[in-house]
Structures are given as structure tokens and as C-alpha cells.
Amino acid sequence: MKQKTSLPTAFMAGAFSGTCSTILFQPLDLVKTRLQTRAIASGNGGMFYTFYTVFRADHVAGLWRGLTPSIYRCVPGVAMYFTSLHGLSSFVSEDPSPLQSIVLGATARTIAGVCMMPVTVVKTRYESGNFNYTSMRQALVSIWTNEGGRGLYSGLVATVARDAPFSGLYLMFYTQIKRRAKGLLQVGDLTSGQNFICGIMAGAMASVVTQPADVVKTRLQMNPYMYPSNRAAVVAIIEAGGIEGLFRGLVPRTVRRTLMSAMAWTIYEEVSRYFGLRKHK
């Protein structure tokens, strides 16, 4: 019975952490998307130049373009992730092994990712600046009418290939780094600041490993009919920009993903501690 009553609490804690991190780091997500969808030969493709061009064209508000679809995707997505993770964690020990952490994180993220995929597609197209959707509903209807279900789930394989490993690796790195930190500091529990630092370290390592899948996912969602397969997208990206093309947008994505994950986990664990939910050691 305790598990049943704690699931809604896990959902609310995840939703709150997702809201805070999504709003704060939306500009970095927008810049990452612009960098990945810009033609390789366009020149001046750096992160700060992209920030400048967006600010010059649309002022401060332009940096938060696509915030609404981001909230629609990230808030319930983060909530579903933490809820799934909380439920799945009941099947393992309170001190999971590295492999168990990878499986838990990857499975929970896959569940959330599949459910939120249509909104992810809309979010990516909003942020690119290449589409003139007037609302979430109009965007969804337009994609369904013109592209069908394939359009709404374009990039699904690449998204799962990016998000599932990221979440699995992140949870594994996070739990292992926290365990080492507790041993070094000789404490039973870490402070919020210490948890945040552990989250940053885990996020940076997981982001670099999964960057190529993120680039492929973005290209597929922008042009689902240009690439017949994930392999075709990878080949096209490498032919246009070399191996470096697979890591385009790495800096803003790493900064955003690392800070967002660290903040989401820190807030979630603080709320969990307050309500007495099972913690991830």
C-alpha cells in the first residue's frame, strides 16, 4: 500500500523539478537545436554567435521560443520518468549495482520518451525557427494531416537511442559518484549542493557519450523523409561535416542537459526526502 500511495507523490515531485529546470534552461535547448539544424557551410556556427543572432532578431523573448511545447513535453516527461523509476526501483535493492542502475534509468526513460514523442517533435520544430505553427494543437494537426503517424514519431529510434542510454548512464554515474563522495566525506547523506555537484559530473559524462544520437534525432525530426533510416542520416551528417558533425551542438547540450539533470535530481531528492520517499543512494 505504501508503494501505491507514494507513486502520486513521486509524480508531483518530478513535475515540480521538471518545471523549474525546463524554464531555466530553455535558451540552451533552443541554441542547441539551432546549431544542429543549421547548414554546415553557413559559418559562424558557435554557441555564443547563435545566442547573439537570436537575441538580435527576437530580443530576450526569442531565447524562450518553444517554451510552451518544452513544458508540455518536459514537465510530464520528467514526472513520468521519476514515477516509472520509483515504481521500478521497488524490484531491486536500495543500493542497486551499476548494471541495475543503467537498466532502471534506461527503462524509465524509454517509457516516458515513447509517450511524449509527438510533443518532442513539435518542440524541436518550434525551436528550429523553420516552421510557423500558431499553437500546439495546430502543429499536431498539421503534422498528422501532412505526415501522418510517421511524422509524429519521426526520430523515435534515435530519441530512444539517445535518451535511454543517457538516463541509464546518468543514473549509474550519479549513484556511483554519490557513493564515492559519501565515502570520502564520511557522511551518511550529502547536502543539496553536494548532490548537485555529483549530478553535474554525471551529466557531463553521459552527455558526451550520447551526443551523436542527439544530432541524428534532430535531423530526422526536421526532415523525416530526407533520410530513409538512421544509418542514412549518420552517413549524410558525416559526409557533410565529418565526425565533428555528429558532435555539433555538444557544448550547449552538455551545459543544458548537465545542469537540467542535476537540478531536476536535486529538487526531486529534496522533495522526496521531505515526503519520505525512497532515495537513490
Q: Where are the domains of the chain?
A: 7-275
In angstroms, rounded to a whole number, what is the distance separating the alpha carbons of residues 148 and 98?
A: 40
What pLDDT is stored for residue 252 in this prediction? 78
What pLDDT is stored for residue 123 in this prediction? 75
* Structural fold of domain 7-275: Mitochondrial carrier fold (1.50.40)
Task: Compute φ and ψ for 17, nearest 5 degrees.
Answer: -65, -35
What pLDDT is stored for residue 112 in this prediction? 92
> SS3 for 70-117, per residue?
HHHHHHHHHHHHHHHHHHHHCCCCCCCCHHHHHHHHHHHHHHHHHHCH
What pLDDT is stored for residue 2 in this prediction? 39
Angle at 219 (CA atoms; ends 59, 215), nearest 5 degrees: 85
DSSP SS3 for 235? helix
* Residue 182 CA, distance from chain mean position: 27
Predicted confidence (pLDDT) per residue in 13-57, tens digit:
889 888 988 898 888 888 877 877 765 445 556 778 888 888 888
What pLDDT is stored for residue 39 in this prediction? 52
What pLDDT is stored for residue 90 in this prediction? 85
Whole-model pTM: value is: 0.73
What pLDDT is stored for residue 129 in this prediction? 66
CA dihedral defined by 106, 115, 260, 11, rounded to 10 degrees? -90
What pLDDT is stored for residue 71 in this prediction? 85
For the chain (281 residues), the mean pLDDT of every run of 10, in chain order, is: 62 89 86 71 66 87 84 86 91 87 96 88 74 78 87 85 90 95 92 94 92 84 80 90 87 84 90 72 60
What pLDDT is stored for residue 41 in this prediction? 42
Place of cell 542502475: 101
